[in-house]
A and B are shown apart, each in its own frame.
Chain A
Amino acid sequence: MTNEHTKVRIKFSKYGSMIFIGHLDIMRYFQKAMRRADIDIAYTTGFNPHQIMSFAAPLGVGLYSNGEYLDIEMNEPMNSKLMITRLNSVMVEGIDILSVKKLPKTAGNAMASVAAAAYTVAFREGYEPDFDYKEKLSDFASKDRIMVTKKTKKSEKEMDLKPFIYELSIVNDKIHMLVDASSSGNIKPSLVMEAFYKENGEVPSEFAFIITREDTYTNIGTDEKSEFVPLDAVGSEM
């Protein structure tokens, strides 16, 4: 990275059949999209130069999103509106560019900036739980501890989810949650849902949930008193 480069954060959505495209392929997709849109993206030096591009938080296959982010570095800044138009003209159905912001020079990289993510969970038709999830959620959310078994490649360990759940409520008949998405605590919404089902004596089918990541947040407050804002709130229009 050199000082002349402009750091830019791009926000996009993922929906429709694009939810079946995995993270690595989304990265390749954006590399090609930058070329198609003729974006003046900066490259690393060396024999095999590659685009300076990094993604905030990989989204699992099958999840929808209204708040995905990637950072790039550009040789020259470009008008935000023009860049949105240019990028959207080369997108496929299922990915829309929502915002393009210039980042302050001091901004950390996208991935390290991620502190939390908001999700909406709905149920696929025919996969609704037997218990009244709208009624039961507030009991579940007000528990002191939410113990789950987190499986890693090597071991299983008991952990308390509660400190990592910042919000859990019903919004428009769907389950809304704001959870830790930082590298140290990254909580999958399905883990919260499994605990919720278990609390009510059920085991969810792996296809039961339609999960949408509504936005990805960074913490502009302190560790003790966090203040979450969307990742692009730290940038400004170009």
Chain B
Amino acid sequence: MRKLALRDEILLKIDKPARYIGGEVNSVMKEKEQVDIRFAMCFPDVYEIGMSHLGIQILYDMLNQFEGVWCERVYSPWVDLDEIMRKENIPLFALESQEPIKNFDFLGMTLQYEMCYTNILQILDLSGIPFFAKDRGEDDPIVIGGGPCTYNPEPIADFFDLFYIGEGETQYEPMMRLYRKIRDKGGSRKEFLEEAAKLPGIYCPLFYQVTYKEDGTIAEFKPVKEGLPTTILKEIQMDLSDTYYPKKPVVPFIKVTQDRVVLEIQRGCIRGCRFCQAGQLYRPVRERNVDMLKEYASEMLKNTGHEEISLSSLSSSDYSKLPELIDFLIDECNRKKINISLPSLRIDAFSLDVMSKVQDVRKSSLTFAPEAGSQRMRNVINKGLTEEVILKGAKEAFEGGWSRVKLYFMLGLPTETDEDIEEIAVLSDKIARVYYETVPKEQRNGKVQIVTSTSFFIPKPFTPFQWAKMGSKEDFLDKARKVKQAVVSQLNQKSIKYNWHEADVSVLEGVFARGDRKISQVILKAYEKGCIFDAWSEFFKNDVWLSSFLECSLDIDFYTTRERSLDEVFPWDFIDCGVTKEFLKKEWQNAMAETVTLNCKEKCNGCGAARFGGGICFNREK
């Protein structure tokens, strides 16, 4: 029987002790004596969030297939346990072996959103690992970061020994071999880092130096060791049908956010929306083979016992074999009484037909993401969704029995005017009108319910909008007020509910997204002053963040509202995600000219990602 790291008294006192005991279905136990590399994989947020993440399940399954490697999981202890661990000096432990993280060879952290940055420090702190990579010794694990935030790792560069840029399936095996080789001949931590930094996709911040101009922008970024690359090309798994994918994902005891089988059908997106980072980072678009997906769907359902399966991709409607896959799933799932959840479907006749088969129409709502209210604005952001298409989809949906609609928009987009903002309300109202025109009075079940939500636009690296000025908090709140006013002046205002996102967090996220190495001191300062779980509104302390910036003499506006020139060197320029800066510049200019760019299926726009020698664009050219 495993001995737990926490005493019964503690486990009985804290909320949801199941977060910390491990032992879940399909979790992997190995004999300590049989392995020589211990890897702790961390999602720096609470268990329920971390366990819902597909990427970790993929890497966990993969690393545990490697001979001699035991990969375990660790998540952020919730605030109740965090307090007890600090008071009693209990070191942070991995769920499987319940042993201290400090004794591991590697601590991997996936960085999925910027607001988890203080939790990185919590993990290091509770583990007893020095915050700064430069202060770590031979006994400390190698701390390695991965995930979308590593496409601008600079704000957290000081805290990591290595970053893995790109998809995890390709370089971990060589890295484990390299680690074993160097360790077995008595090599040092530094020797390993020097060799690891030469692996494709691997970035070791200690070996790179930044110098700044007087205005605070970057003068130069270069390696300080010979033999290291000046740019780091992202890693990518070109064949998604013959690679690692977990047939036996871990099944949590407690209900987590994603309590279902997740089938990733493709990576990348053909659409090229100019605000969307994922749409650029994961190019080129690669589909998984439909037969592989069918096999995995059945196996994963059998091995987990989940009662629901969900498809995962940036735009499921663009998957070429979607009808075949869905037919298979409907057949398989009906027999086994399993629910199918289909997020990110474009609303059209096909998807409405499918949705009416898999969900209770009366209870479900339709989601449209026009992202902007006016057609002009949608041309700027290259969201190829027209009002005609939205209204047609809504009409068909209302005819099919739906009466609830969710609409997502962004505020603060480049070139946005008051008219663009008002159009958000106007479009919401037009959809309500379609309902009352389409559904006869006697068939209505009360009012149509339209929920219109806006979030604030945050410019992200590797998007055409990486040059864009971000709005200030005041701008944002002013814009939200304008939407609110416009909504109440609509004919169907009583059918429209308007929600907007908090502005403070968006501003900070904007700083981290395009921040440089100087930001790490602010993160440390804010953490030391008690900031943690910043992604959770109940713990987000904006005043502490503001004072931390002041104390570090760093100006928020420099990172957010400042105009950036086209020749500015960005902190993330040393990373090559496949898409060229030239292409992004061209797209930025297209945005300013309100010119739409065709999607990757219609035409190759020469973004640069075809150089990986695969994907739908490359294969079509052949």
Contact = CB atoms under 8 A, between A and B. Distances in A.
Interface of A: 16-18, 20-22, 25, 28-29, 31-36, 38, 43, 47-50, 61-62, 90, 92-94, 124, 206-207
B337 A25 contact: no
A28 B8 contact: no
Contact of B253 (A16, A25, A31): A25
28 contacts: A16-B1, A16-B2, A16-B23, A17-B4, A18-B23, A20-B11, A20-B17, A20-B18, A22-B18, A25-B255, A28-B253, A29-B253, A31-B305, A32-B306, A34-B305, A35-B302, A35-B305, A35-B336, A36-B305, A48-B360, A49-B337, A61-B12, A90-B25, A90-B305, A92-B24, A92-B25, A93-B23, A207-B8
B337 A36 contact: no
A238 to B, nearest CB: 22
B251 A25 contact: no
Nearest to B22: A17
Contact of A36 (B2, B21, B25, B254): B25
Contact of B1 (A31, A49, A93, A207): A93
Contacts of A207: 8-9, 12
Given A35-B336, A61-B12, 17 more contacts: A17-B2, A17-B21, A17-B22, A20-B11, A20-B18, A20-B21, A22-B18, A32-B304, A32-B306, A36-B302, A36-B304, A36-B305, A38-B302, A90-B25, A92-B23, A124-B8, A206-B12
A92 B23 CA distance: 7
**Nearest 10 Cβ contacts at the A-B interface:** A32-B305, A35-B305, A36-B305, A20-B17, A17-B21, A207-B9, A49-B337, A21-B253, A62-B12, A25-B253
Nearest to A206: B12
A90 B255 CA distance: 19
Contacts of A49: 337
A94 B17 CA distance: 15
Contacts of B305: 31-36, 90
Contacts of B21: 17, 20
B254 A61 contact: no
B8 A62 contact: yes
Contacts of A31: 305, 307
Nearest to B362: A47
Contacts of A43: 337
A25 B254 contact: yes
Interface string B518-560: 0000000000000000000000000000000000000000000
Nearest to B336: A35
Interface string B294-306: 0000000111111
Interface in B261-287: none
- The CB with the most chain B CB atoms within 10 A, among A18, A29, A90, is that of A29
A207 B336 CA distance: 43
Given A35-B307, A61-B17, A28 B4 contact: no
Contacts of B304: 32, 36
Nearest to A62: B12
Contact of B2 (A34, A50, A93): A93
Contacts of B12: 20, 61-62, 206-207
A94 B23 contact: yes
Counting contact residues on chain B (CB < 8 A from A), the size range is 20 to 34
Contacts of A124: 8-9
Contacts of A50: 337
A208 to B, nearest CB: 10
A25 B21 CA distance: 14
A17 B23 contact: yes
- The CB with the most chain A CB atoms within 10 A, among B21, B253, B307, B360, is that of B253
Interface in B287-332: 301-307
A34 B338 CA distance: 13
B257 to A, nearest CB: 15
A114 to B, nearest CB: 24
Nearest to A30: B305
A17 B97 CA distance: 13
Contacts of B17: 20, 61
- The CB with the most chain B CB atoms within 10 A, among A20, A22, A33, A206, is that of A20
Contacts of A206: 12
A25 B19 CA distance: 12
A85 B450 CA distance: 52
- The CB with the most chain A CB atoms within 10 A, among B8, B304, B336, is that of B8
A237 to B, nearest CB: 26
A62 B8 CA distance: 8
A4 B207 CA distance: 72
A10 to B, nearest CB: 15
B302 A28 contact: no
Interface string B442-474: 000000000000000000000000000000000
Contacts of A32: 25, 251, 304-307
A191 B462 CA distance: 63
Contacts of A29: 253
A48 B336 CA distance: 12
A35 B18 CA distance: 22
Nearest to A28: B255
A17 B5 CA distance: 11
Contacts of B18: 20-22, 25
Contacts of A94: 23
A20 B8 CA distance: 9
A154 B444 CA distance: 43
Contacts of B303: 36
A47 B360 CA distance: 7
A29 B8 CA distance: 22
- The CB with the most chain A CB atoms within 10 A, among B9, B255, B302, B305, is that of B305
A62 B4 CA distance: 14
A45 B495 CA distance: 34
Contacts of A17: 2, 4, 21-23
Contacts of A61: 12, 17
Nearest to A16: B1
Contacts of B307: 31-32, 35
Interface string B343-363: 000000000000000001000
A89 to B, nearest CB: 12
A36 B307 CA distance: 11
Contacts of A62: 8, 12
Nearest to B11: A20
Nearest to B252: A25
Contacts of B254: 21, 25
Contacts of B302: 35-36, 38
A33 B253 CA distance: 11
A120 to B, nearest CB: 16
A22 B12 CA distance: 11
Contacts of B253: 21, 25, 28-29
Nearest to B361: A47
- The CB with the most chain B CB atoms within 10 A, among A17, A47, A206, is that of A17
B428 to A, nearest CB: 30
A144 B360 CA distance: 59
Nearest to A210: B8
A85 to B, nearest CB: 17
A49 B308 CA distance: 12
A29 to B, nearest CB: 6
A50 B336 CA distance: 11
Interface string B23-61: 111000000000000000000000000000000000000
Contacts of A48: 360
